[in-house]
Amino acid sequence: QLTVLFGACAGLPARRALPVCQAYKNDQVDTEGVNRKFNDAVSNTGAYLQTKWEETEDKPAAVIITAGAILLLVTLSSVVDAVDKIPIFSDLIELVGVAVTAW
């Protein structure tokens, strides 16, 4: 209901979240339904990516941009790990996180 409220306040169309799985009266979960939905999502994602790749006119540029994005993520992860290993910075970052969470 909050999603609908915020969507209406922001002028966005209201969306209803679909349940990922159904819980039964005795707290069992419909694992077959979850597996089916997951397999559908994976197969649809592959078809979507294949369609977008076929529509791409400049394939070398798309490959270079994708490789650059992956390289950037690896580099930023290394920087964050290096900063996290410095004792005073990791404590300071943790303190900032707690302060933001409390705020």
pLDDT tens per residue, range 1-50: 344 444 444 444 555 555 555 555 556 667 788 888 888 888 888 888 88
> Number of H helices and number of E strands within the chain?
4, 0
pLDDT of residue 38: 85
What is the Cα–Cα distance from 29 to 24, expressed in whole angstroms?
6
Nearest by Cα to 84 from 93, 72, 75, 96: 93
8 Cβ contact list (under 8 Å, min separation 6): 14
Where is 88: in which H helix or E strand?
A: helix 87-102
User: Which residues are bridge partners to 23 per DSSP?
Assistant: 29
Q: What is the pTM of this model?
A: 0.48
pLDDT band with cut points at 50, 70 and 90 for residue 60: very high
pLDDT band with cut points at 50, 70 and 90 for residue 68: very high
